[in-house]
C-alpha cells in the first residue's frame, strides 16, 4: 500500500523559504507525477505544481516564480520549496501522486504551515 | 474565484439522491477529464471519480460521475450520514497550463 507523509517546519517567518518533504513508502516515485496542493484554513484546494519523475515540471502560473518541486530518488522523496512567503501562504500542504490518467490517487495526510513572525 | 464553478452547498436526507454540478469552459472541462474528490472533516481529500465517470476500487457504486460539454456532475444515491463532506471537482486547464479545482461543495445530510 502506497503511503505519503509530509514533513517540515510548521512555522515559517515572512520573507523566508518554506521547505517541505514528502516521503513515499510502499512504492517507487519513478513512473509517476508528484504534485503539491495546498488548502488555506477553511478554504478550498489550490494546485501548486507537479514534477514527473523524469524531471519535467509544471507550476501554477500564479506561483511559478516562487515554487520549485524536486525529487530524491535515492530517498524516495519529493520536495517543495516556496520562496518569499507571506501570511497568505499559511495553509495545509499536501503531496499527492498521479498517473497520466488518474490524478491524485494517493494523498499524504497534510502538514499545516503557518507563516508568522 | 476558481475557473470551475460549484455550488457552495448541497443537502439531502438519508436515502435521497443528490447531485453536485461543476461548470467550466472549453479550456478545461470541455477538453479534459474531470475528477472528483471527497474531503471528510479534518482529513485529506480522497479520489472519488476519475476520467469523468470511473470509480477507484473501494468507492461504492452509489457515487457516479458524468460529463457533458463544459459541465460535469457528481451524483450520490442512497445518501448516508457518512457522505457528509466537502466535494471538489478538478480538471486540467490548457489555457492556464494548470490543474484547477472547483471551490468545493459542502454536502449536508439532514
Residue A73 cell numbers, joined: 530518488
Confidence check: pLDDT of B61 > 90? yes
The whole-angstrom separation of Cα A65 and Cα B67 is 34
- Report strand pairing: A11-12 vs A111-115: parallel
Beta strands, E only, B1-110? 9-12, 18-23, 35-39, 46-49, 63-68, 71-76, 85-93, 98-101, 105-109
First to last CA, chain B: 28
Q: Are B102 and B7 in contact (CB under 8 A)?
A: no
Q: State how far Cα B40 lies from the chain centre.
A: 13
Residue B85 cell numbers, joined: 463532506
What pLDDT sits at residue B94?
Answer: 95
Taking residues B71-96, report their average pLDDT: 97
Nearest CA in chain A to B49: A102
Contact yes or no for A103 and B90 at CB 8 A:
yes
The whole-angstrom separation of Cα B45 and Cα A45 is 9
Contact yes or no for B2 and A61 at CB 8 A:
no
Contact yes or no for B104 and A45 at CB 8 A:
yes
What pLDDT sits at residue A100?
Answer: 87
Chain A CB contacts of B35 below 8 Å: 103-104
Tens of pLDDT, residue by residue over B49-60, are 999 999 999 999
Residue B32 cell numbers, joined: 479534459
Q: State how far Cα A33 lies from the chain centre.
A: 12
Nearest CA in chain B to A6: B44
Q: Which residue of A37, A103, A110 to mutate against B (max B Cβ within 10 Å)?
A: A103
What pLDDT sits at residue B1?
Answer: 73
What pLDDT sits at residue A35?
Answer: 97
Q: Are A96 and A106 in contact (CB under 8 A)?
A: yes
What pLDDT sits at residue B110?
Answer: 93
Contact yes or no for B88 and A45 at CB 8 A:
yes
A36 close contact with B: CB closer than 8 A: no
**Is the Cα torsion angle A93, A98, A103, A105 positive or negative in sign?**
negative
What pLDDT sits at residue B6?
Answer: 98
Contact yes or no for A104 and B97 at CB 8 A:
no
Provide the 8-state DSSP code for B30.
Answer: G
Q: How many CB atoms lie within 10 A of CB A65?
A: 9
Show pLDDT as tens, one digit a residue, over chain A (117 residues). 999 999 999 999 999 999 999 999 999 999 999 999 999 999 999 999 999 988 899 999 999 999 999 999 999 999 999 999 999 999 999 999 999 888 999 999 999 999 999
A104 close contact with B: CB closer than 8 A: yes
- Report strand pairing: B85-93 vs B35-39: antiparallel
Q: Which residue of A39, A45, A59 to mutate against B (max B Cβ within 10 Å)?
A: A45
A33 close contact with B: CB closer than 8 A: no
Chain B nearest-CA distance from A16, in A, is: 25
Amino acid at each position: 500500500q502506497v503511503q505519503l507523509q509530509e514533513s517540515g517546519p510548521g512555522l515559517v517567518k515572512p520573507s523566508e523559504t518554506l521547505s517541505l518533504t514528502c516521503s513515499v513508502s510502499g512504492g517507487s516515485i519513478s513512473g509517476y507525477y508528484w504534485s503539491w496542493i495546498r488548502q488555506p484554513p477553511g478554504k478550498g484546494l489550490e494546485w501548486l505544481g507537479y514534477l514527473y519523475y523524469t524531471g519535467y515540471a509544471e507550476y501554477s502560473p500564479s506561483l511559478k516564480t516562487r515554487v520549485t518541486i524536486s525529487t530524491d530518488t535515492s530517498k524516495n522523496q519529493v520536495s517543495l520549496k516556496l520562496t518569499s512567503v507571506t501570511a497568505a501562504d499559511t495553509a495545509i500542504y499536501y503531496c499527492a501522486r498521479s498517473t497520466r490518467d488518474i490524478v491524485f490517487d494517493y494523498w499524504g495526510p497534510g502538514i499545516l504551515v503557518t507563516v508568522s513572525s | 474565484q476558481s475557473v470551475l464553478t460549484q455550488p457552495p452547498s448541497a443537502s439531502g436526507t438519508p436515502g435521497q439522491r443528490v447531485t453536485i454540478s461543476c461548470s467550466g469552459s472549453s479550456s478545461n472541462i470541455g477538453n479534459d477529464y474531470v475528477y472528483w474528490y471527497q474531503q471528510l472533516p479534518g482529513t485529506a481529500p480522497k479520489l472519488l471519480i476519475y476520467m469523468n465517470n470511473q470509480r477507484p476500487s473501494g468507492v461504492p457504486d452509489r457515487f457516479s460521475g458524468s460529463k457533458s460539454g463544459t459541465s460535469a456532475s457528481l451524483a450520490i444515491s442512497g445518501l448516508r450520514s457518512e457522505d457528509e463532506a466537502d466535494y471538489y471537482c478538478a480538471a486540467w486547464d490548457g489555457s492556464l497550463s494548470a490543474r484547477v479545482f472547483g471551490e468545493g461543495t459542502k454536502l449536508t445530510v439532514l
